[in-house]
Amino acid sequence: MKQLLIKLNACNEAMEWAGDKTWEEIYRTCHRGDWLLWLFKQTNPNDLRLLTLAKGHCANTVRHLMKDERSIKAVDAAIAYGEGRIDIEELNNAATTADAVFFATSTAATSTADAYAAYAATATSTAAAAYAATATSTAAAAYAATATAAAAYAATATAAYAATADAYAAYADAYAAYAAADAADAYADADAADAAAYAAADAAYAAADAAYAAADAAYAAYAAADAADAAKKNNQQQTADICRQYLPIKIWNINL
């Protein structure tokens, strides 16, 4: 199986995951629907209706993120074509319409969902590759956002702790200055030193509060990015299960 994946020019990540697994193990345990769809397209190039049916149902998992009715109709068209209810011309018309939506979207979530819709209804390999690349780059951006959020949280949390430490140190200096002046029987100097030190301490605590607020905001961003990553992995597993439902192992042309 490894030699077949090399011959088909599978991506490095998929190759590493597949390792020395048998075809049956790969089919049964693959956790990514996009990998299974890609492989089926390579091994069963003449089974366009079956492939489109599976793509349509995979795209349907993000239907709730599609804000444009044309994207939703493209998903429905893919499923209808896969079930033999419409012809290739109708499917291509739906894909062309979905193209316009995809290229007009501005947000990452809706853009990815609309890319799924356009991909599901697209029969040509060139366009399919473009949508696959978009989905890959979006996923990479999501991972980058998660890493950035984590780094930001770490940095702001560190700053918050440092600011708190500075505040405690400022208060300690205030007490030390007051005690030193008191020991020297210089009450006026003690009061002045005490006031200055406490003012510095208050400023340090204000900085600490600001740093903690920034840490909280960074943590919220990290949590959101982490949730998005978890949702993405869940969707990959969901679409893999869909592929196994609509593309049973017995129909795959795996020639080893």
Average pLDDT of the residues in 111-124: 71
* Longest Cα–Cα distance in the chain: 99
Q: How many CB atoms lie within 10 A of CB 126?
A: 7
pLDDT tier, 43 (very low <50, low <70, confident <90, very high otherwise): very high
Residue with tokens 């590759």: 129
Q: Is the pLDDT of residue 188 over 60?
A: no
* 12: its two tokens: 């490095």
Q: 141 pLDDT band (50/70/90 cuts)?
A: very low
Q: pLDDT-derived band of residue 12, with 50, 70 and 90 as boundaries?
A: very high
Give the lowest-confidence range in 122-136, 161-175, 235-249. Answer: 122-136
Q: What is the pLDDT of residue 238?
A: 96
Q: What sections of the chain are H helices per DSSP?
A: 2-7, 12-18, 23-29, 33-43, 48-59, 69-82, 88-104, 108-121, 125-183, 187-246
Token pair 């894909």 is at which residue? 95
Label residues 40-66 b or e (16+ Cβ within 10 Å = b): bbeebeebeebbbbbbbbbbbbbeebb
Residue 130 pLDDT exceeds 80: no
pLDDT band at 198 (very low <50, low <70, confident <90, very high): low
Q: What is the pLDDT of residue 140?
A: 44
Q: What CA–CA distance (Å, rounded) separates 48 from 244?
A: 16
Contact predicate 108/146, CB 8 Å: no
- State the amino acid at position 207 in one-letter form: A
pLDDT for the residue numbered 181: 58
Mean pLDDT of 17-37: 97
